[in-house]
Structure 1
């Protein structure tokens, strides 16, 4: 049980119902495999997962994916500006398309953003890559919700 960040104790739902959490982790692994098979590199995958974790304010996943991105060779500069990626020139057209598509998958209420993201993605990514990015976003959105609702702690290194 967690009491971090709130006066109301939370349940670690991943521990309470581990079979559901394992199925969700399998979905995430399958999405990462699809991304790899579609030719998306590990850094792009980590950027997508990190950006969606920023949008969802999931501290646990932000910590995890920042470390993974650095380990994969991502630069501190690009990580520092990821939250404002639209205002920079440091991301490739494919990365920009993937980030927009992942954000559109996260904010389903904005139909215009979805259309714009799809249009940009079709110009920079293959259909297999578009599908993989959407699955990555769906999976990290679900995992963000597990960590946020459980209040998984971020521990000091």
Structure 2
């Protein structure tokens, strides 16, 4: 069976000074971060959702694989694009995914309602951490899109 590989089609990510900042953010809030208070499975669902919303092939493949590896069921991983239309996700997960969508889409009108919904399930530190996870993923998806990181079979 062939395995998926990735290649840059636009520029080498090492050529941008921004990469070092992105790496620091990933260390703190990325999928390998060790000190998050947020549930690791929820954080991974959020990462996968941002990757899917921003249509980053590299990130979707990486974060779907990681989600499965940490024990998130295939059904949730496969249904992330329509979480809002599913009973596979808890109300708490739906609040976080709605917040994720709003922050990723940059909805300015009515954003307070997404934040308010979060306060029903998360404390201030958790909300700030979830925001950081979303922001970090938006940075990475946009960086990977800009550099043209695409999958291929070897």
Normalization by structure 2: what TM-score? 0.86
Structure 1: any 5+ residue segments left out of the alignment? 4-9
46-55 vs 97-106, greater mean Cα deviation: 97-106
- Show the 5 A alignment for 1:114-125: 114-125=111-122
Structure 2: any 5+ residue segments left out of the alignment? 1-6
Larger fraction in strand? 2
Moved over 6 A (4+): none
- Whole-Å separation in 2 of the counterparts to 1:2 and 1:34: 28
Larger fraction in helix? 1
Report how far residue 151 of structure 1 moved: 1.0
- Whole-Å separation in 2 of the counterparts to 1:153 and 1:118: 34
Higher relative contact order structure (alpha carbons within 8 Å, sequence separation ≥ 6): 2
Counterpart secondary structure, 2:150: coil
Normalization by structure 1: what TM-score? 0.84
| RMSD, matched Cα | 2.0
Q: Assess if the C-alpha contact under 8 Å between 1:53 and 1:62 holds in 2.
A: yes
Match of 1:63 among 61, 64, 71: 61
